[in-house]
Structure 1
Amino acid sequence: MSGFIATGTNAAEHKIENDAFWPDIDCLDLRAAMRLDASVTPERIEAAAINAMIEANRELDLYRRARQEEGHASLADMPAPQIKGESQLLHLYRRTIYCRATAELVERYRSFDATNSGEQKATEDSTNIDELRRDARHALRSILGISHTTVELL
């Protein structure tokens, strides 16, 4: 994320235990994947990740129930193509969480600078937030096996 100052990472970051069906989320992996430096505290990353997990799990609840009725104990047990030795579904779930959490963090860390450069940064952040939310939505829809686009005839 542009505008953040690198100051190292905190060893206190850990995995967030998820519902048994969904994978746990590692805050250090989230930080590294989304290029969040130490100006974003571990507590804020954890709070944003938990919020993202709650929302994604809620949206995927019917999917989870259907898969469990089919006999799958977890998302990792689902038959799916593998990338880097891991189910695509796990990669997509993490992308959903990482993008949603990062969108929340960018929104919270926005500069309130009223100068022209501050206004430009706020515009860039808004675009970045929208792109992160779009990427999260695409990953979630891919898990569900539905198109990334909804078209309606008027």
Structure 2
Amino acid sequence: MSSFLATADTGTAATAPAADTLKNDGWFPDVELGALREQMKIDGNVTDARLRPAALDAMASCNAELRSWQVKQLAAGYAELAAVPAPQLGGESTHVIRYRRAVFNLVRADLTEQYRGLDTTKSGGQKAEELEATIGEARRNVRIALADIRGIRRTTVELI
């Protein structure tokens, strides 16, 4: 009878874990990667090396989309997003909650788009089609959250 025993290689240096919190620009809130993984159900298939740039890009995109609104808030004297008057839920500004929702859903949409094409079999193609709905829902959630922050009415128009 044989057995296999794996032991850690103590001769190599351990790699440092990725930073758990991504620093934002100082006005918008920082983003916690652990919370992002948990809330968006992002498993270990997405490495920290892929999650980090996706989150940074989502932060940059949301920040850019909110830039003109942010300038108005800065002119009104608000030093950070959390200081802008908004209802508080769970001890947190709804603006911060919605900003986080926008960033997290944008990350989810982008990563889902990247990973859907990895399986080229027939069943993989069917699964990729099913993921279209997930991507669309995530992008819709981004639009809704950013519109709610800016106080823009949501309108859905469908051509008949």
What TM-score results when the alignment is normalised by the length of structure 1? 0.87
Structure-1 residue corresponding to 2:49: 43
Write the mapping of 1:13-92 to structure 2, written as runs, cut at 5 A.
Answer: 13-92=19-98
Deviation at 1:13, TM superposition (A): 4.2
Deviation at 1:36, TM superposition (A): 0.6
- CA-based RMSD: 1.9
Structure 2 counterpart of 1:122, one-letter code = A
Structure-2 residue corresponding to 1:119: 125
Deviation at 1:112, TM superposition (A): 3.9
Whole-angstrom CA distance in 2 between matches of 1:149 and 1:104: 24
Whole-angstrom CA distance in 1 between matches of 2:60 and 2:146: 13
The structure with the largest alpha-carbon Rg is 2
Does residue 140 (structure 1) correspond to residue 141 (structure 2)? The answer is no
Whole-angstrom CA distance in 2 between matches of 1:21 and 1:69: 13
Q: Which deviates further from its counterpart, 132-141 or 118-127? A: 118-127
Note if contact 1:111-1:121 (Cα within 8 Å) is conserved in structure 2. no
- Per-residue CA deviations over 1:123-151 (Å, capped at 9, x if unaligned) read 11111111100111110000010122165
- Per-residue CA deviations over 1:46-82 (Å, capped at 9, x if unaligned) read 1111111111111100111100100000001111111
Structure 1 counterpart of 2:94, one-letter code = Q
Choose the corresponding residue for 1:95, options 87, 91, 101: 101
Whole-angstrom CA distance in 2 between matches of 1:140 and 1:67: 15
Stretches of structure 2 that go unaligned for 5 or more consecutive residues are 1-15
Q: Which runs of 4+ in 1 moved over 2 A?
A: 10-13, 111-116
TM-aligned CA distance change 1:88 to 1:115, over 3 Å: same
Note if contact 1:56-1:97 (Cα within 8 Å) is conserved in structure 2. yes
What TM-score results when the alignment is normalised by the length of structure 2? 0.84
